[in-house]
Amino acid sequence: MDLTSTRHEPFRQARPWAAELGLDPDDLPDGLVVADSTGRVICFNAAAARICGTDPSDVLGRPIQSALPFQDLDGHRWWQLTDPYGGLATRSGQPERGLLLEGREVLVSARYVRTRPTGPVHRLVVALRGTEARRRSERSDAELIATVAHELRSPLTSVKGFTATLLAKWERFTDDQKRLMLETVDADANRVTRLIAELLDISRIDSGRLEVRRQPVDMAAAVRRHVQAHTTAGQPPDRFATRIVEPLPELWADPDKIDQVLGNLLENAVRHGEGTVTIEVAPAPHRGHDEGTAVTVSDEGPGIPEESMSRVFTRFWRGSKRGGTGLGLYIVKGIVEAHGGDITVARAPGGGAQFRFTLPAGAPAFMA
């Protein structure tokens, strides 16, 4: 039997559309190993060869136990522990775990394919991944925990200090002093609330569970409202230039999340930029054919270095000026993409930063 020509057949049988699309197991980013009903390897893709450091021709046709001599982290032989062909007939597979392969750790999961419930194993499908992705995820999680701990420590210390002082020495302070301390406590509580909201947003974005409640949104009115909020807070009115190109297409989006996007982009432009902050709202083609609405926010500050632009929408990017959690633009990108839109960053005509996001237009039925 020509094992080389049949090594991908189980994949095509399991996915009838694969052959029609010209899909090959070697195109998969993760390692794929398939054994037949006798336990012999009949598929060993390119990613598996790379992860295991093994030539496919050396393992095709061999028993999977000898082709992949896995051991658990305690040194026990994994195939003897799991026994896919002779174990419980109700078992459907093994969850992903770290195993040792000739001294190197590999992430391994297995799926038992049966022709009928509780029947014998017809195919054993093993997925392999290197540990680099897990290490990157662990580093990212560790950085997130450190950032959250740092951001929480300052406001909570302030809250604890002021409340303890007021409880212990209430009668010694004037009404104005009490008001100042309580206003500080309120502001710090708001910081903690915002951080918790950011963490919840990140969790929903990462898990694909960010919910978008669509309704008609007047983007021009939303922009004017945010500009007014900044001028009310003390920014000079001539700091902002608003351009609305009408008529704008009908836009269905989540108004609260659109406010979150606009608020973040304008706050960044005001805080980190210089000169005039220009906000333009205009109709724009979306992905080449659909009608959409584009919002562009630009400033005249130092801008973003060219080498940093690819990292602007990643977690913890803060640019040259410290402050904040570095999570805002990551969340902005997640919100825009959850609406089916796109967001980009570039250098503004005045030399500062220019953020532009485009949202598709249409009613909920169109967006479904």
Contact 217, 258 (CB under 8 A): yes
Q: Could you list the pLDDT tens digit for every one of the 368 residues in the chain?
A: 344 444 455 444 444 434 444 567 877 888 999 999 999 999 999 999 998 888 998 999 999 999 999 998 888 999 999 999 998 888 889 998 889 998 888 999 999 999 888 889 999 999 998 877 667 666 767 777 777 777 788 888 989 999 999 999 999 999 999 999 999 999 889 888 888 888 888 888 877 788 889 999 999 999 999 999 999 989 999 999 999 998 999 999 999 999 999 999 999 899 888 889 999 999 987 665 568 899 999 999 888 888 888 888 887 776 655 556 678 899 999 999 999 899 999 998 878 899 999 998 865 544 44
Measured distance CA(84)–CA(75) in Å, rounded: 19
Picking from 264, 278, 280, the residue whose alpha carbon sits closest to that of residue 334 is: 264
* Chain mean position to CA 87: 38
Question: Which pLDDT score is estimated for 332?
Answer: 93
Q: What is the DSSP letter of 29?
A: S
How far apart CA 185 and CA 195 sit, in angstroms, is 16
Distance CA 114, CA 321 (A): 58
DSSP state of 37: T
Residue 20: how many other CB atoms lie within 10 Å? 9
Give the chain's domains with CATH numbers.
3-130 (3.30.450.20), 134-207 (1.10.287.130), 215-367 (3.30.565.10)
Give alpha helix (H) positions in the chain: 3-6, 9-14, 16-21, 46-52, 56-59, 64-67, 78-82, 132-169, 175-207, 219-232, 255-272, 328-338, 364-367
Taking Cα atoms as reference points, which of 47, 21, 61 lies closest to residue 126?
A: 47
pLDDT value, residue 319? 65
What pLDDT does residue 15 have? Answer: 45
On whether the pTM is more than 0.75, the answer is no
CA dihedral over 116, 122, 124, 125, signed as positive or negative: negative
What residue type is 158 in one-letter code?
S
